[in-house]
Amino acid sequence: MTTTLKPLREQVLVVTGATSGNGLAITEAAVARGAAVVAVARNAAALDALRARLAADGGRITICVADVSDAEAVERVATTAIDAFGGFDSWINNAGTGTYGTLEQVPVADHRRVFDVNYFGVLHGSLVAARHLRTRGGAIINVGSILGDRSIVQQGPYCATKHAVQALTDTLRMELETAGAGISVTLVKPGAIDTPFPEHARNFMDQPPRLPQPLYAPQVVADAVLFACAHPRRTLYAGGGGLLASLMAQVAPRLSDFVMEAGGTRAQQKPGDAGDPARRDNLDQPRADALRGSRDVFARKSSIALQIQKVPSPLLVLGVLGAGAAVVLGRRRRGAGR
């Protein structure tokens, strides 16, 4: 079956984690561009407010309160989409959670909870979406992370889940292609995005957490995701900073380790600024949601690297970028040897 995706304005999208950060940006942008959205999250009050706000402007939106770690709840999402819009065309697995702290500091129960949401939530959504899209075609977009390419200190469980999501996504794509299902499967890999994630994450460090620069606005991720809904792509990096970090990890993994060991913890700490206390620690229960983090930070509103990836044959451009990174690293190594 040939993979043919509808224009975005003709689609119904399912978006998990829709009340905060990247999910909220995806939902707002999709509705603004004429798509219908099934917004999914744990936060019932935030979902009600989101529906009221977007519907008041003529947006097509329905909501479903669900924790994606619950397989039965995810099945209910599909039923909601069918009841409201007759089905869906793209399913976006975006919901996620995390912790800050060493592998030893984070209790095993919290490791499992991060996997329940970030990995099993994607698995549940992918299986439900694939089953419903087999007869009509469509797209499954999983929101991963550059931390699926390059692990970072203090976020071990989160990094592990994003590595697992990459493997899951690649396997799903191959299985659906073998079956001729006509379903596009895309992995979107954001870099550091200015969302409430550091405030929502459970923190075991002795300082408040933050995300390191360069930061990008959540709309950059929304741009990548909505593009993938209408244009088949294997992978899209949201943010040039993340793409360069990924390339560096592949070209010089040990150098990347040393850089991370030397400054990774400090780059993820914000002494004296814990952010909005109403958002703190949503690992087990929803907390206050928002589009952006509560701190005053600079976040880029667009990504040239993402726009390059949208062209029909971006591999040549990415190859040039990779070769350039290799040359720069080679010069640095030679300079250090002298």
Give yes or no for a contact between 39 and 15, defined as CB atoms under 8 angstroms apart.
Answer: yes
Cα separation, 96 vs 266, in Å, equals: 23
What is the rounded CA–CA span in Å between residue 322 and residue 98?
30
Length of the chain: 338
Question: Which residues does the annotation mark as catalytic?
Answer: 158
Please tell me the distance from the alpha carbon of residue 197 to that of residue 210, in angstroms, as a whole number. 8
Give dist(CA 300, CA 260) in Å, integer.
23
Q: Which residues of 276-311 are buried (b: 16+ CB within 10 A; e: fewer)?
A: eeebbebbeebbbbbbbbbbeeebbeebebbebbee
DSSP H helix total and E strand total for the chain: 12, 11
DSSP of 175-194: HHHHTT--EEEEEEEE-SB-
Report which of 4, 228, 325 is spatially closest to residue 138, judged by C-alpha positions: 4
| Dist. CA 169–CA 187, nearest whole Å | 7
Q: Which residues does residue 269 pair with via DSSP β-bridges, in sequence order? A: 209
